[in-house]
């Protein structure tokens, strides 16, 4: 009986040690391009004009204060930020969320509606390429993210963004987009949005150990639609907006983001299934442990 117990114990340890997360390859989202990133601190006014070809890659990071795997992803993105010029926007899980106070239901709902996932970590580059999880088949997460950030968006033209602070909580956003080449289908809409970002939010109760959480998207406000058909005249708009509350401090900024939206009744892409977290993917190995426990129990009964 002692030999049988030792054998089952060895099998259990082997099952636990073989529990590994599988690397998920990057996928095309088919949700529509996201680009832009011009910004001003909310308490300062200014105007800027940039060439679209010079814009930084827009990187959406789906995260949570309890998500340990998210820390690996965010550190990898921080490691390539200077080299690639990426601009990070962290969307914290808020739907059915009881542990993370940094998210917004509306911001979380937008991410789920576009990309079909609700389990962090997820990283989306320019709205078009999505990487789920923190496991990579590349040499490192940094090298995989670098390759994704360097994908050519093939856009040209100019964008002008102006922000005029009118009070501590309000301001006027103006924008002009003169498109050269964008390659978008006529069906669908290209819309200008103001993304309100908190530079750093402190939450010491976060269980993944970061305590200070950067680039937190606190709100997304629509500014107006862009005429994106071929040879169209420049589009522009002016909007008075009220800023959402910061979690703490006074470090909000206003970012101009352009997002292509595919209509629900025209060539709507299939929404990918909800993606399990990496910890959930490890659960099947536990069934083997359970089975081995049953075998051990049967052996004990037979011995008696």
Same-domain pairing of 292 and 250? no
Both 275 and 288 in one domain: the answer is no
Tens digits of per-residue pLDDT, 216-249?
999 999 999 998 876 778 999 999 999 999 999 9
Q: What is the pLDDT of residues 51-72, one digit of tens each?
A: 999 999 999 999 999 999 999 9
Cα separation, 214 vs 208, in Å, equals: 14
3-state secondary structure of 256: strand
Residues 4 and 97 in one domain: no
Number of domains observed in the structure of the chain: 2
Q: Are residues 248 and 142 in the same domain?
A: yes
Q: Which residues of 172-183 are buried (b: 16+ CB within 10 A; e: fewer)?
A: ebbbbbbbeebe
Cβ contact 171:163 at 8 Å: yes
- Do 230 and 293 sit in the same domain of this protein? no
**CATH number of the domain that residue 233 is part of:** 3.40.30.10
Q: Which domain holds residue 291?
A: 1-18+283-304
CB neighbours of residue 211 within 10 Å: 12
Q: What is the pLDDT of residues 3-52, one digit of tens each?
A: 445 544 444 444 444 345 678 899 999 899 999 999 999 999 999 999 99
- Per residue in 198-219, pLDDT tens? 999 999 999 999 999 999 999 9
Q: Residues 87, 235: one domain?
A: yes
Q: What is the pTM of this model?
A: 0.82
Residues 277 and 254 in one domain: yes
Within this chain, do residues 255 and 126 fall inside the same structural domain, yes or no?
yes
């Amino acid at each position: 009986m002692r030999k049988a117990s030792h054998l089952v114990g060895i099998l259990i340890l082997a099952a636990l040690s073989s529990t590994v997360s599988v690397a998920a390859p990057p996928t095309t989202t088919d949700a529509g391009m996201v680009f832009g990133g011009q910004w001003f601190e909310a308490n300062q006014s200014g105007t800027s004009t940039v060439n679209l070809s010079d814009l930084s890659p827009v990187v959406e990071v789906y995260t949570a204060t309890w998500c340990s795997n998210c820390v690996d992803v965010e550190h990898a993105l921080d490691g390539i930020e200077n080299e690639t010029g990426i601009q990070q926007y962290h969307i914290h899980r808020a739907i059915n969320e009881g542990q993370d106070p940094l998210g917004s239901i509306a911001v979380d709902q937008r991410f789920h509606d576009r990309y079909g996932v609700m389990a962090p970590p997820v990283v989306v580059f320019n709205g078009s390429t999505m990487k789920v999880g923190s496991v990579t088949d590349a040499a490192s997460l940094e090298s995989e993210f670098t390759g994704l950030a360097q994908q050519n968006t093939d856009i040209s033209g100019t964008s002008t963004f102006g922000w005029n602070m009118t009070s501590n909580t309000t301001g006027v956003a103006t924008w002009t987009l003169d498109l050269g080449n964008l390659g978008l289908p006529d069906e669908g809409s290209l819309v200008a949005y103001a993304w309100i970002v908190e530079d750093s939010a402190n939450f010491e109760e976060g269980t993944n150990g970061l305590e200070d959480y950067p680039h937190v998207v606190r709100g997304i406000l629509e500014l107006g639609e862009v005429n994106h058909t071929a040879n169209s005249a420049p589009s522009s708009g002016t909007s008075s907006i009220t800023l959402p509350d910061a979690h703490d401090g006074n470090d909000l900024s206003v970012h101009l983001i352009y997002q292509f939206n595919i209509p629900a009744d025209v060539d709507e892409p299939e929404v990918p299934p909800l993606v399990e977290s990496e910890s959930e993917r490890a659960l099947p190995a536990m069934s083997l442990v359970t089975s081995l426990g049953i075998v051990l129990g049967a052996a004990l009964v037979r011995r008696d």
